Each structure stands twice: as structure tokens, then as C-alpha cells.
Amino acid sequence: MNVEPPVRVEDKLYYNRYLVDVGHPHVKVRAHTRPSPQLLALLKACPARCYELNDDGQVEITVDGCIECGTCRVIAEPTGDIQWSHPRGGYGVLFKFG
Amino acid sequence: MIEERFDAIVVGAGMAGNAAALTMAKRGMKVLQLERGEYPGSKNVQGAILYADMMEKLVPEFREEAPLERHLIEQRFWMMDDRSHVGMHYRSEDFNEERPNRYTIIRAQFDKWFSSKVREAGATVLCETTVTELARDERERIVGVRTDRRDGEIHADVVVLAEGVNGLLGTRAGLRARPTPDNVALAVKEMHFLPRETIEARFNLKGDEGVVIEAAGTISRGMTGMGFIYANKECISLGIGCLVADFQRTGQTPYGLLDQFKRHPSVAPLIAGSEVKEYSAHLIPEGGYKSIPQLYGEGWVVVGDAAQLNNAIHREGSNLAMTSGRIAAEAIDLVKSRGEPMSATNLSIYKKLLDDSFVIKDLKKYKDFPPLMHTHSQNFFLTYPQLISKAMQNFVRVDGTPKAEKEKATLKSFVKARSWTGLFGDAYRFARAWR
Ligand SMILES: Cc1cc2nc3c(=O)[nH]c(=O)nc-3n(C[C@H](O)[C@H](O)[C@H](O)COP(=O)(O)OP(=O)(O)OC[C@H]3O[C@@H](n4cnc5c(N)ncnc54)[C@H](O)[C@@H]3O)c2cc1C
Ligand code: SF4
């Protein structure tokens, strides 16, 4: 087994510029008691680690660091687990390089 | 101001949208282009290699004007295991030519420039505007769009959907299916800044010469995926991507993969001491020919990544996007010049023209490749790279073992790992898909 240093995604996101649309999250998780396998997959698959498990074992999202890749939409929109839209015009991540 | 009617509305100011808007505006059409980003490029991620030929067809003088990074004189392919890489490098002085064939670019900067050409040609470009819905008439034809900027609809004879891989509008309107986990890859990327001289010394370059490295092997941990390292003037683009279905199946994290790639002994010295200035992620269409959706309909066409027009084997996407955008625009102009309506029947000329271009011909050639790679990813991305690395080591290490015995050992390791039927099967399948 090779031991790997944990990756701190927060540090990575710190490089980026965002214009957060406070109060208008563009991705929403449907209320649930037990998360589906698709929702659970997002905990690992989201490159910005926007999805987290709360103390009750439900999957929650904080969209502030979202880099708008669409991965969660591809995985969990078909099952109705999440609702995914683009942020309002001008909001969200602002790549300087891309 | 928007009460007026347009000949065409283009959704998106990426490569495909800019190509379409520019081509139509140059031909005197009244074009409105809508982009959700703060400026064109602010949402877009690419490696990025620009292919000159397709750009030249749109802006012949781009070499003098566009923000280009380096012209490529060398291409490296690396097959990697955890501690080694087997490389194939092609470098040629021929690429130091008057009109180089490939350049590295930085998309956010390039798109901004490209968009300035679209405006110069006379198109109206509105940024910070997300198109939320397509507007239809009572006969279900697409007649315009709705945006989050103002109430009501903006109308046009035709809507060009250049909305990129996520393609929300088209999928919501039922014009095509949502991308599935096995026909899109997720790529994560970082921009590593270093002094120009350091980059040139590390990559053996002078002046504006450039090099790109494409890497595959155990870096994707058995998933279908690739890594890339591209030299720009003062930074290095470095990233890795794998099929979304593979991430979903394995529970690997994209940032974990990226970090492991950066720490690989062949990679780490190239970026040592760099300052990271951005972390980005984006999907790449990987489904190939078989995943291309309906390309036109009543009052609409779809171009670029939204139509899955991406050649994953050759890592080409922006050129297919530009070409499909241009061809769609030419088709629209043709219909308009005949004074005919933008009906599905008339717009089908777009598909006919595209079928005759390299875009569809190339994708057709590799139509069986994506499924082969996806179902045999363990072999192609894990087992073979390990075996080949071992074989190379056995070949170059001088330790007193007779050469014949060395060859036997190598052969034995291949047969042991994949069996004779496995080896022949893989070779046969690979050759067939490549044909
Ligand atoms: C990591 C990576 C590396 C790559 N490397 C290469 C490479 O080296 N060479 C190459 O040729 N290709 C490469 N590609 C592929 C290439 O980036 C794409 O094929 C190309 O960008 C597609 O262009 P497009 O115009 O179709 O889509 P995009 O460039 O994605 O443009 C879509 C635009 O539409 C806008 N938009 C979307 N929806 C809306 C809406 N509802 N309202 C308003 N605006 C909207 C977006 O903001 C965006 O500006 C790479 C891709 C990735 C992710
Ligand atoms: S769009 Fe991408 S970055 Fe944003 S929440 Fe979904 S997976 Fe995470």
C-alpha cells in the first residue's frame, strides 16, 4: 500500500476567482433520508469537493467553490437526486487562464 | 433594444460559437451572440493546443494578432508505470516554419481575442447573459431564446447551439440526450507558473518553441484516461482526465489523481518550484461517432462539444468545434441566400457538408475505439504499461543475464499477464478499431 498525503482541495480552490451569487445556489440536492449510490459517488467525484456528508448521513452541497464542470449533473441528475443549472450570467467561477 | 429580430442567435462564445458568429457576421447577417461568462473564455477550459489550419480558415491573420503561447516543435508520448515512463518523442526542425501548424494557447485569453474579431465583423455580443430556455412557436419550431437578463423572448430565424459539452438547453428541450457517464471524461487541470528561461531549459527549447507531453498508463489507476503537460511561455498546463463512469465506479478522486501525477518522478522535476495560479475542471466528450446526436431541426443547429464532436484519440476538440461552427454558418447562409425558411429539411445541408469534412470522417474512422478502451481499460491503462516498462528495464539494464534469457523472461511476463489468446485478442481488437 502506498500512503498518500491527503489533498487539500480548499487550498486549490483558493487560487480561483469566483463571484458567488449569494442565496441563489445553481445546484440543489433533493431532500432525502438515505442517499442513493449516485449521490454518494459525488462525495468523491466532484473535483471541488462541494458535496459532503452531514451528521445525519445525508449528502449536502455548498456551491461556492463549484467549478461548473457538470460531473455531478451527469451522474445524479438522471435519478432526480440533484437539480443542475448554470449560475446566473456573470456569476460563478471566473477563469483567468482556463 | 432587443425588440429587434435577428437573422441568427448564437448561444455560447467558445470555439464553436465564435466560429459560427464570425462567419455569419462576415457574410452580412444580423447576429446576436449570448455568453454566460463575465467575458468570453471565462468559463472555458482546454489543454490547450490550437490547430492553425482551422483557425486560419476563420481569421487568416491570427498569427500576428492572437495571444499565442508557443509553436510546437516536439510531441512526446509517455507510457507510464508508477516509477518509470517509456517515451516516444518526435521533434523536428521542420516545425520551426514560417506558418507553424500547432500552438499552445491559454483559452480564457484566446477566447477574449477571438470574440473581439466577432464584434469587429459586426455581431452583437452580450456577456453575463445565461440563456435559460429555447422559445418555440405554436408549431414547436425553435424561434428564439429566453435569458436571465430580461423578460420575454428574443427572436431569430435560427438558433445556433454552441453551448459546450454540458449542453443544458438542447437536452432540456429534448433535442438530444444528456451526456452519460460513459461518454464524457472529467479532466482537472492546474496552471504552474515558472520563469520563461526555466521552462525553456527544462524542456530543451529556445525562443517561442514549444513541446507537449501526452501521458497514459498507471497514472489513471486502471481507468480510461490520459494526462497532459503542455509548455506555455511562462507557465505549464498540467492535467489529467478519466471517464466519469470510471470515477463513479472506482471512487477515485480527480484531485487525488492529479496530485499523484504531479508527484510522479518523471513529472515532478518539470514543475518543481512552480507557483500554481489556477485549478480548473471540465468535461470532454468521449463517446465518438456513435454518440453524435441529431445535428439540426426546425430553426436550430448544434455545433462543437454540445454535439459530441470531439476526437479523443487525437486530443482534438477545438478544431472540430471551429469547423462545425463555420460549416453550420455557411449552411445557414446558403439557406438564407436562397430566401428559404430555416426548416429542418433546408438545414439538413449542414449535416451533408459536415459529413464530407474531416470532422465526421475522422470520428467515423475511430467509431469502435471508445467502447474498446472503456471495456478493456484495465489492460490498456494498467497491465500493458506495467509490462512494457518492465520489458524496457529488462532490455536496458546490464546485469550479466544473457540476452536470450532476458527476451524469454519478457515474453513470459506478457503471456502470464494476458495469456496468448488475450494478447492476440487485444492486438486484433486494437488493429480493427484503428482501421
Ligand atoms: C482539459 C481539456 C483539454 C483539452 N485539450 C484540447 C486540445 O489541446 N486541443 C483541442 O483542440 N481541444 C482540446 N480540448 C477540447 C476543447 O476544449 C473543446 O472541444 C472545445 O472547447 C469545444 O468548443 P465549444 O465552443 O463547443 O464549447 P466551449 O468552448 O465549452 O464553449 C461553450 C460556451 O458556451 C457558453 N454557454 C453554455 N451554455 C450557455 C447558456 N445557457 N447561455 C449562455 N452561454 C452558455 C459557455 O460559457 C462557453 O463559453 C480539451 C478539453 C479539455 C477539457
Ligand atoms: S458542477 Fe462539478 S464542481 Fe460543481 S458541484 Fe458539480 S461536480 Fe462539483
User: Which CATH code of 3.30.70.20, 1.25.40.10, 3.30.420.590, 3.90.226.10 fits the domain covering A9-94?
Assistant: 3.30.70.20
CATH of the domain at B317: 3.50.50.60
Q: What is the DSSP string of B142-200?
A: EEEEEESSSSSEEEEEEEEE--TTT-HHHHHTTSSPPPPTTTEEEEEEEEEE--HHHHH
Could you tell me the residue range of the domain that residue B425 belongs to?
Answer: 370-434
Please tell me the distance in Å from B37's CA to the nearest CA on chain A. Answer: 5
pTM score: 0.95
Contact B108 A98 (CB under 8 A): yes
A63-89: pLDDT as tens digits: 999 999 999 999 999 999 999 999 999
Which of B285, B313, B348 is the last residue before a domain boundary? Answer: B285
Could you report the per-residue pLDDT of B392-412, keeping only the tens digit for each?
898 888 989 998 999 899 999
Is residue B374 located within the same domain as residue B362? no
H or E element: which one contains B210? strand B209-217
Contact B111, B18 (CB under 8 A): yes
Could A71 and B283 be called an inter-chain contact, meaning their C-beta atoms sit closer than 8 Å? yes
Q: Are residues B194 and B270 in the same domain?
A: yes
Q: Is residue B244 part of a domain?
A: yes
CA-to-CA distance for B69 and B109, rounded, in angstroms? 10
Q: Chain-wide mean pLDDT for chain A?
A: 94
Question: Nearest C-alpha of chain B: how many angstroms from A65?
Answer: 11
Identify whether B97 is part of a domain. Answer: no
Q: Is there a cis peptide before residue B307, judged by omega within 30 degrees of 0?
A: no
If asked whether residues B55 and B120 sit together in one domain, one would say yes
Size of the A and B interface in Cβ pairs below 8 Å = 141
Mean per-residue pLDDT, A21-49: 97
Mean pLDDT, chain B, rounded, equals 95
Domain boundaries, chain A: 9-94
Question: For residue B208, what is the DSSP state?
Answer: T
Q: How far is the CA of A71 from the centre of ligand 2 (A)?
A: 6
Amino acid making up residue B100:
P
Evaluate whether residue B84 is within a structural domain.
no
Q: Tell me the CA end-to-end span of chain B in Å, nearest whole number.
A: 54
Domain check: are B39 and B134 in the same one?
yes
CA–CA separation, B36 and B11 (whole Å): 9
A contact test, residue of B255, B283, B305, B308 with most A CBs within 10 A = B255
The beta-strand segments (E) located in B300-419 are 300-302
Looking at the fold, whether B34 and B150 belong to one and the same domain comes out as yes
Verify that B329 and B377 share a domain, yes or no.
Answer: no
For strands B184-193 and B275-285, give the pairing. Answer: antiparallel
CATH of the domain at B242: 3.30.9.90
Q: What secondary structure does DSSP assign to B53-95, as a single string?
A: HHHHTT-TTHHHHS-EEEEEEEEEEEEE-SS-EEEEEEE-GGG
Task: Classify residue B162 as exposed, middle or buried by CB count within 10 Å of its CB (0-12, 13-18, 19+).
Answer: buried
- As beta bridge partners, residue B162 has none
Report the residue from A47, A77, A84 with minimal CB separation from B255. A47
Same domain, B278 and B307: no
One domain, residues B354 and B415: no
Mean pLDDT of all residues in B299-313: 96
Nearest CA to ligand 2 atom 8: A46
Burial of B60 (0-12, 13-18, 19+ CB in 10 A): exposed
Ligand nearest to the CA of A39: 2
Residues B64 and B168 in one domain: yes
Question: Which of A23-32, B295-304, B338-347, B385-394 has the lowest average pLDDT?
Answer: B385-394
Q: What is the pLDDT of residues B178-205, one digit of tens each?
A: 999 999 999 999 999 999 999 999 999 9
The percent of residues above 90 in pLDDT, for chain B, comes to: 83
The answer to whether residues B255 and B333 belong to one domain is no
Spatial separation of the C-alpha atoms in residues B11 and B16, rounded to whole Å: 10
Please give, rounded to a whole number of angstroms, the shortest distance from the CA of A28 to a CA of chain B.
16
Do B65 and B164 sit in the same domain of this protein? yes
| Structural domains of chain B, count | 3
Same domain, B201 and B313: no
Residue of A14, A74, A94, A96 to mutate, interface with B, max B Cβ within 10 Å? A74
- Pairwise pLDDT comparison (B395 vs B17), residue with the higher score: B17
Report how far ligand 1's centroid is from the alpha carbon of B81 (Å). 31
